[in-house]
Structure 1
């Protein structure tokens, strides 16, 4: 899995070109979100576990650039969106560890 940490809308646009025509998991978070902080170790472990099989994009919402979060209709964090060839195939909002793990097991493998 290649993890692209996107720092701005422009950075997101440049890095997301690598995912064209592929399945990717998009993780939208905020720096001080309690749920985001709670699942951070699990998220990092899952990224390592699936390091050969998928693409993950991370994006910190509610920074100076917010167009990417708006384009993905993110209004709460954490939000996970799975895209396949430009089509959204599933979404999960919240920090339930079992749901986050399920997304990776089903879509990152």
Structure 2
């Protein structure tokens, strides 16, 4: 079953003063996957992000930096458990983030 943004229950979470996460899909016992839309204002930084679960990131708009590389709109990234990156965006960006096996406990 797909998630259509017009039908999704959205809750906004302010990660910090420059990053907002909109939760598009909550995990359930039958389907633990979580889907979020993250909005980075220009110059936004997250700091160290260590993953305990797999995370897929689609750069929808703008440029996303992981502390090593800059990724353009249209890029799809996968962060495996145990990986570390430093999310940031000099220009600002929108990311669609999917946790197929449930949410990363470090992102709470």
Same fold flag (TM > 0.5):
no
Normalised TM-score (structure 2): 0.29
Greater fraction helix: 1
Normalised TM-score (structure 1): 0.29
Greater fraction strand: 2
Larger Rg: 2
Higher relative contact order (CA 8 A, sep 6+): 1
